[in-house]
Structure 1
Amino acid sequence: MNDGPLADVDAIAWHRLHHAYGPATDVPDQLRALRSRDEDRRADALACLSGNVYHQGTRWQASHAVVPFLVALVDDPETPDRAAVVGLLRRIAVGDRRDDALPFDPRQAFAAGDTFDGPEHDELIQRFYAEEELADDEIPVLDAAAVRWAADSYFAAAARLSAITRWVSDPDDQVAAQAAALIAWFEPTDALMAALIAVPEHRARPRASANLALAHAPASDVRIDRRLRELTLSGTATVAVTAAVASAYRDGKALAEQALSILVEASDRDDLEGVPGWDRAPRGFVMLALQRLDLG
């Protein structure tokens, strides 16, 4: 049987990889269930994967191996609920980090995992999975292992960044918006910046998400600043507000008067639509932007 984007899923030695509840032998069928036409079955599979390869923010041995298949699923337009799959990918790649961790430095974030060597500590990991009692001096090794598994998941997504970047122009607004939010966590290459800049303003959700991602882009890119200025003048409410937020992050007290006026007016609004891919409400971003200007 040809599983399409999951054609190679059985080539992975899942029995040798563990997730939160033991050997990851159940993962292939859970991934296949994400392709099901049965909505309940898809929801169950998403919940299971959210609980076993991403368990309360922790990544495991098996987590990084799931990433290529999630990317392939989103790449296939026949996959239902693609936006939900992007959301799962984001959790596995980035964890439970919030936007206040942006811009993100993976070397610093994952430095604590450098002391973990998988083969060297394999026996310890096996005893941990067997729920055997561990010595106090072995606990730091487990902590380092968790950081290493998180790093493996992040870099597995980074290796597929060209595909994720393409999703920013996906016809599904939810997929496009979540993709824009996700790529904010990776190195801001020219290709990434171009994709974020190019999102048309009439697509409000992806455009607003792209604005928030650009808030953390390199300060020296004049293309970004020009685009944000345009959007504060012509965008819809959420687009203009998020463009003003991004400009405040980038310009500080040199912020243009038009953008400042938008932020001040938005600080009293609770009716702005949330931006897919971002946990913080738009008004929360506005207040943070005003704080940067010593006005919050």
Structure 2
Amino acid sequence: MTGIVAWEDPVIPLDADPEDYAGSDLDVRAVLQRLPAEDRPGRRLDDLPWGRFHHAHGRADDVPGFITNLGSSDPMIAKNALRLLSGTLCHQGSTSAPGAMAVPFLLRVAENRIAHHRADVLWLIADIARRCHYGDGTRAGFLRTAPDGLTYDTYAYPAGWSIQAARDALAQDMDILIALLDDPDPEVRSHSAYALAAATVADGSVYPHLHGRLRAEQRPEVRASLVLAIAQLAFDRDRDHATAWAHSLLSNLEQPDETRVSAAIAWLCLTDGPVPHQITALLLDADDSVIDALEQSPWLQAIAAPGLGYTRCIGQLLDLNDPPHMIDDPWA
């Protein structure tokens, strides 16, 4: 087992097999699944057992108050609430069970056009629903959402359960994210694609919305996010079709350069064979405007600080001679 810090009062006993508690009231996936679907639009914060679970700093009784403040009309109150939520629900990139429970309520903040920091809220939602990759920009890791094996958060709770619950919660409210793809704010559009790509998608119904937005989108940084979102959704379920689509996109000289470069990244992550010279040249010869557009996408911002994401990601994707730049896992 990796990533355990033996804090007091764990949700599941430290000497227990977590699978013995799968489906119980201590399984956040089951807790969310048991909530009546018809009550979803009017769901209240006190409908959920926050105090039963831990975030990074203890029991999660304080989360409802943070979420309430996030919707404040005062931008400073909302900003401070977002900071507290980010530091507790997805501390150092590690998703907690209360993070999954917060997803439906965070989505409703993000869809409110008079709310503050909506794109950042979507970023938090998307991070909650993804594995902690610690700057993994490799072909095998860049688009992978679910964690490998059994990992734990800082309270020895199965992180995979929390991530799966968050992904399922996104799928239940996919209509909100699809609507946000047409939001007037380009950063909200970009980050809604990032969140949508983490959802548990059982069929292909979401693809027409992403492809339609890609055809209509005028902002290069949003086009980059849409291409990567389509590829990430296909990573585990429709890789062959997505690989052919990405190759046709990167080969089409009539496509915008940032679309072609994003498609080249997608193609690399969807395949594991030798890298064609065409793709190497496309990625290494990208001009500053293309790199800037890619740097603004949440995928590359998650790899490294602004100004470093493209270089580090391409270095890992192409397996260049530079040393690895992945961040050390603090819980390993």
TM-score by length of structure 1 reads 0.70
Mapped to 2, the partners of 1:88 and 1:192 lie a distance apart of: 21
Deviations 1:111-160 (A, max 9, x none): 527xxxxxxxxxxxxxxxxxxxxxxxxx99x6353443343333333333
The structure-2 alpha-carbon separation of the partners of 1:41 and 1:288, relative to structure 1 and needing over 3 Å to count, comes to: same
Q: What is the number of residues matched between the two proteins?
A: 258
Aligned AA (1:191): S
The structure-2 alpha-carbon separation of the partners of 1:291 and 1:214, relative to structure 1 and needing over 3 Å to count, comes to: farther
Identity of aligned residues (%): 25
**Alignment partner, residue 197 of structure 1:** 211
- Would you say the 8 A contact 1:103–1:185 is kept in 2? no
Residue 262 in 1 paired to residue 278 in 2?
Answer: no
* Aligned pairs for 1:1-296 within 5 A: 8-97=44-133, 98=136, 100=138, 101-104=141-144, 106=146, 109=147, 111-112=149-150, 143=156, 145-186=158-199, 189-198=203-212, 199=214, 200-216=216-232, 217=234, 218-221=239-242, 222-230=244-252, 232-235=253-256, 237-250=257-270, 257=278, 261-266=281-286, 272-273=292-293, 274-278=295-299, 279-280=302-303, 281-291=309-319
Mapped to 2, the partners of 1:67 and 1:213 lie a distance apart of: 19
After TM superposition, give the deviation of residue 89 of structure 1 in Å: 0.7
* CA RMSD, Structure 1 to Structure 2 (Å): 3.6
Name the SS of the counterpart of 2:150 in structure 1: helix
Asked which structure has the greater RCO (Cα within 8 Å, sep 6+), the reply is 2
- Would you say the 8 A contact 1:60–1:146 is kept in 2? yes
Deviations 1:140-191 (A, max 9, x none): 9x63534433433333333333432433333221111122223333456423
Structure 1 unaligned segments of length 5 or more: list them. 114-138
After TM superposition, give the deviation of residue 77 of structure 1 in Å: 1.9
Aligned AA (2:179): R
After TM superposition, give the deviation of residue 85 of structure 1 in Å: 0.5
After TM superposition, give the deviation of residue 103 of structure 1 in Å: 4.3
- Would you say the 8 A contact 2:53–2:60 is kept in 1? yes
Which structure has more helix as a fraction of its residues?
1
TM-score by length of structure 2 reads 0.63
Between stretches 154-163 and 247-256, larger displacement belongs to: 247-256
Mapped to 2, the partners of 1:169 and 1:229 lie a distance apart of: 27
When Rg is computed on C-alpha atoms for both structures, the one with the higher figure is 1
The structure-2 alpha-carbon separation of the partners of 1:58 and 1:289, relative to structure 1 and needing over 3 Å to count, comes to: closer
Mapped to 2, the partners of 1:228 and 1:270 lie a distance apart of: 14
Mapped to 1, the partners of 2:52 and 2:317 lie a distance apart of: 47
Name the SS of the counterpart of 1:194 in structure 2: helix
The structure-2 alpha-carbon separation of the partners of 1:63 and 1:172, relative to structure 1 and needing over 3 Å to count, comes to: same
**Alignment partner, residue 21 of structure 2:** none
